[in-house]
Amino acid sequence: MFNDWLRIGSFTIHGYGVMIAIGILMAFFYGERMARKYGLDPNEVDNLVFVCLISGFLGSKIVYILTNWNAFLKNPMAYLGADGWVVYGGILGGLLGGWLWCKFRKLSFPAYANLMLPAVALAQGFGRIGCFFAGCCYGKETTGLGVVFPEGSLAPAGVKLIPTQLISSFGDFVLFYILYKTYCNEKTRSMTAGLYLVLYAVGRFIIEYFRGDEARGFLFGLSTSQFISIFMMIAGLIVIYVSRNKEKKAG
């Protein structure tokens, strides 16, 4: 909504970037603190955050290009710039990067995934506030409770829209709290990563019905993100089932 916070000559501090930076710093802080508390290596947490940021960035951009393939072929440079991301691509890319790093470092991927996925939800909560400042990921027009974005935002200006960014942010912070409590409980700790996949997928599937930026494409009547959500939820349920079975056998 008010994305340009400070201008110094040609240099501008954007609210979107500030919120993303805060989210990343909070992920670092949370991961290091929890690693020390639960016997994992804080240095490896720092490495993982860095690796997952890079792989998440690449995954987000790749999925964005794939969902806009025809337009990308017409003007590739327009889609390779700073604008244009898909959150699901970032999640999948980050998970893949984290798995490869753990394999390279001979670390337990499940252990670090359970530790760090609450931090991902926390970072996403701040990131969605950034979306609100920029006007991206906006909701449909509404005659009820909504927000009106000014000229210059990525959202349509002068019309009342559902504040899907803030709803998503609130949901991400609630998800973080649920995952944090899940991880702190020794009996449910191994379910944390799977629970993230399931709950995030459910929330994203629902919020898609209120999104107004329909350029993201549709498959079989569902948005691209809803389609991915189905598979992500199934994957999360499998992770929970496998982790619980391992615990029963170990016990």
In a domain, 215, yes or no: no
What totals of helices (H) and strands (E) does the chain contain, helices first?
Answer: 9, 6
DSSP single-letter state for residue 155: S
Is 173 in contact with 125 (CB distance < 8 Å)?
yes
pTM for this predicted structure? 0.89
C-alpha to C-alpha distance for 131 and 147, rounded to whole angstroms: 13
C-alpha to C-alpha distance for 115 and 45, rounded to whole angstroms: 9
In a domain, 192, yes or no: no
Is 91 in contact with 117 (CB distance < 8 Å)?
no
Report residue 80's pLDDT band, with 50, 70 and 90 as the boundaries: low
Other beta carbons within 10 angstroms of residue 141's beta carbon come to: 12
pLDDT tens for 5-43 read 666 766 667 788 899 999 999 999 999 999 999 999 999
In a domain, 91, yes or no: yes
Report residue 126's pLDDT band, with 50, 70 and 90 as the boundaries: very high
Is residue 170 pLDDT above 60, yes or no? yes
**Considering the chain, what percentage of its residues have pLDDT values greater than 70?**
87
Is residue 216 pLDDT above 60, yes or no? no
In a domain, 196, yes or no: no
In a domain, 203, yes or no: no
Residue bearing the bigger pLDDT, 183 or 1: 183
pLDDT tens for 140-166 read 999 888 999 988 888 888 899 999 999
In a domain, 238, yes or no: no
Is 148 in contact with 132 (CB distance < 8 Å)?
no
Indicate the number of domains in the chain.
1
DSSP single-letter state for residue 5: E
C-alpha to C-alpha distance for 72 and 230, rounded to whole angstroms: 26
Domain that holds residue 71: 4-176
In a domain, 239, yes or no: no
